[in-house]
Amino acid sequence: MAADSELLRELQLVNLRTLKKLDEVCRKHDIKYWAAFGTLIGAIRHKGFIPWDDDLDVCMMREDFDRLCQVPAEEWGPDCCFCTPSSPEEFHDRFFGRVYIKDSHIQSYVDVENWRNWSDGKSWSTKMMCDIFVWDYVPDDDEEYYRLHDQLKKIEHMDYKWVKSMAWTDSRNPARIAKVLLKRARGAYLRRKYAEPWKELDRRVLEIIRSHPAGRRIGCYNTSLHHIYEYEDVFPLTTAAFEDMEVPVPAKWDKLLTMDYGDYMTPPPMKDRVHINFIYMDMGDGRKYIIDPVPGSLGNPNR
């Protein structure tokens, strides 16, 4: 993203509305969630967002996520919406939950260079959001968990992504073109085979998870990295400051952050303080920021 700290800060504060809405809904329905990953580091180290990032990551157990899925759509208000793996919206391309700002739009180089909407063939984009990662009780045997995790990640990164977004490239490399055409053919096949393929894939994932004996530990199947915690390391939840609110955090947050990141209190060197390279942002209130109007992007008048 362009090195504009004021714009990034504005993006953070607008996106914070998704976390506040999630917190409001969860408190009303007694649903437990906790701040995780970069958001947890931000809460502990900065008492808010990591200064060079705008990501919002929270986690909840499967039973709480199932209850969240039953919350009526109107409770998310006029500004936000909640999507699950079974949601048909094209902008939702992940096998976990997200709270989005409805009228916002964000787009990166990767979006324009790799994906298109099935509906109109235009370059794919998404919205400002808070990620909700779902945790399950996992097998006691580490190797069994790793095998299951990798199997489920293949479903997410392959079938689900191809069904939700149409693979695309402007490369002239024959191998790259062939790979994209295979992805597109697979996605088209699934879209024809099932009336709602995202629901079918979600059903398959849950079937796989429930077909394996679960132990006492908890883990997350929809992150790229392997995360396995002791239940007692997370619960009972405590709280920490995040911007102008309090968020739930794991009981033994220091242990978990050290396990996942090492010396998490020392910020990384400047060269590693990276962020998604956005080229277009619409924060949902009519303000549009065209960082780079590349061909095919939302910010290109010739799109």
Q: What is the DSSP letter of 43?
A: I
Residue 73: other Cβ atoms inside 10 A: 8
- Measured distance CA(209)–CA(219) in Å, rounded: 11
Give bridge partners of residue 198 from the DSSP assignment: none
Query: pLDDT of 19-36, one tens digit each?
Result: 999 999 999 999 999 999
pLDDT in the model for residue 4: 77
Q: Evaluate if residue 275 carries a pLDDT over 70.
A: yes
Which of 44, 14, 52 lies closest to 286, judged by CA?
14
* Maximum Cα interatomic distance, the chain, rounded to a whole number of Å: 55
The pTM of this model reads 0.94
- Measured distance CA(265)–CA(105) in Å, rounded: 33
Give the contacts of 266 (CB within 8 A, at least 6 positions apart). Answer: none
Percent of the chain with pLDDT over 70: 98
pLDDT in the model for residue 197: 96
Task: Transcribe 145-187 into DSSP letters.
Answer: HHHHHHHHHHIIIIIIHHHHSEE------HHHHHHHHHHHHHH
Mean pLDDT of the chain: 93
Residue 244: other Cβ atoms inside 10 A: 10
pLDDT in the model for residue 3: 44
Nearest-5° Cα angle at 86, 136 to 115 = 105
Q: Evaluate if residue 284 carries a pLDDT over 70.
A: yes
Query: pLDDT of 201-235, one tens digit each?
Result: 999 999 999 988 888 999 999 888 888 999 999 99
pLDDT in the model for residue 303: 65
3-class SS of residue 136? strand
Taking the C-alpha atoms of 222, 298, 5 and 22 in order, what is their torsion angle to the nearest 10 degrees? -40
Residue range 164-182: average pLDDT? Answer: 94
Which of 120, 88, 89, 87 lies closest to 105, judged by CA?
89
- The residue to which tokens 């952050």 are assigned: 257
- Measured distance CA(37)–CA(13) in Å, rounded: 19
Gap between the terminal Cα atoms of the chain: 21
The dihedral region occupied by 248, where left means phi > 0, alpha psi between -120 and 50, and beta the remainder, is beta
Give bridge partners of residue 99 from the DSSP assignment: 82, 130
Which of 92, 96, 140, 102 lies closest to 14, judged by CA?
102
- Measured distance CA(15)–CA(191) in Å, rounded: 32
CA distances from 88 to 104, 140, 277 (A): 18, 34, 26
pLDDT in the model for residue 223: 85
Model confidence at 269, pLDDT cuts 50, 70, 90, reads very high
Nearest-5° Cα angle at 234, 68 to 65 = 10
Model confidence at 276, pLDDT cuts 50, 70, 90, reads confident
